[in-house]
Homo-oligomer: A and B are copies of this chain.
Amino acid sequence: MRWATTFRIIAALCSAAVLAPLYAQDNTLAPRQVPAKTLPVPTDVSPEMQKLIAAPLRQDWDAKWKTGEDWRRVADAAAAKSILALPAMRERLHVSVKPDIIDGVRVFIVTPDVIPPEHRDKLLVHVHGGCYVLSPGEAGTSEAILMAGLGHFKVISVDYRMPPEAYFPGALDDAMTVYKAAIKTTAPNDLGVLGTSAGGALVLEMMLRAKAAGLPIPGAISSGTPMSDVTKTGDSFYTNEMVDNVLVSRDGFCDAATKVYANGHDLKDPLLSPVYGDMHGFPPTILTTGTRDLLLSNTVRVHRKLRQSGVEAELEVFEGQSHADYGRDDRIPETREAFGEITAFFDKHLGH
């Protein structure tokens, strides 16, 4: 046995994963008081990224709608605006998008105009983000368009049911339906799965489901800043509160939305908080986050847990970025860099 393996095992035995259930807040330990501060816009990112970083806190970041119907109205209004940017993006990236139905589940087939020979037998399944309630329909396709256009892969984007059409585990059920269909037509080793935020969590939840169901795992996955722990555990929920201008606070809109989706289900269930799941046997995983991300901790915790579980896992952390900033606009250099990394990771691991 190589020493690397030995130490991996020792590390795993000693690790937070094993000890986690024993951990508890020691109330004798003093919290840290941090004074108010002013954060200048960083100078070491692109001018385009500087503009995102300088944007004010997201509007309605503390709105806490309480029903699936409320969220659907909010989601539809936001989607009607956000889809206006998609035609130009598809044109810039030379990607076409076609709605379809796979085994009863709504999807979009996202196809780049040019697919290089080594990608012709590859397929990616995409699950969009939006706190399990936002980005219905075409609005959920933007990351799939970035991936198809910048990575030159064919992508199936799952338009999973959201509240009030379905609650937990509806999103996961729909994603699994598409996954099961995909492994019938594509060799699992040629298949990748990707998503960001709630989509990043869904990617991990899909692997837990696939393992439990005895299904083959895909060749590689990309989990971007996953909502891996919706119990508000994770240090950056505190350190990056009011620093991240997208999620802003652990007590903000995304927490409220997730609770509506969970519909009373235990938030610590690994199918809602996958950081608590058993990650042994997961496929190679690339994780992406930013230094200002409210979910920085919940990304690096998944990275550590994967490594403790013997999984090949790569972590990319981008300077100054808030939650999922790396996927907002194809014209930002850091977006092209992030999807370049994800493409390289899929190229390294798919087909083997």
Contact = CB atoms under 8 A, between A and B. Distances in A.
Copies in the complex: 2
Given A16-B333, A32-B243, A348 B26 contact: no
Contacts of A315: 314-317
A25 interface: yes
Interface in A55-79: 56
Interface string A29-48: 11111111111111111110
A11 interface: yes
A27 to B, nearest CB: 9
A341 interface: yes
Contacts of A116: 3
A241 B291 CA distance: 13
A46 B18 CA distance: 10
A91 interface: no
A136 B318 CA distance: 35
Given A7-B150, A291-B300, A308-B337, A37 B238 contact: yes
Contacts of A297: 42, 44, 291, 319-320
Contact of A235 (B19, B44, B239): B44
Contact of A32 (B39, B300, B316): B39
A20 interface: yes
A235 B320 contact: yes
A38 to B, nearest CB: 5
Contact of A319 (B11, B300, B336): B300
A39 B235 contact: yes
A126 interface: no
A242 interface: yes
A8 B39 contact: no
A317 B344 contact: no
Contacts of A30: 41, 54, 56
A11 B41 contact: no
Given A14-B336, A235-B320, A300-B317, A34 B44 contact: no
10 contacts: A2-B118, A3-B343, A7-B150, A8-B344, A11-B340, A15-B333, A30-B41, A38-B238, A239-B291, A303-B317
Given A2-B118, A32-B38, 5 more contacts: A3-B118, A16-B334, A23-B47, A35-B242, A307-B341
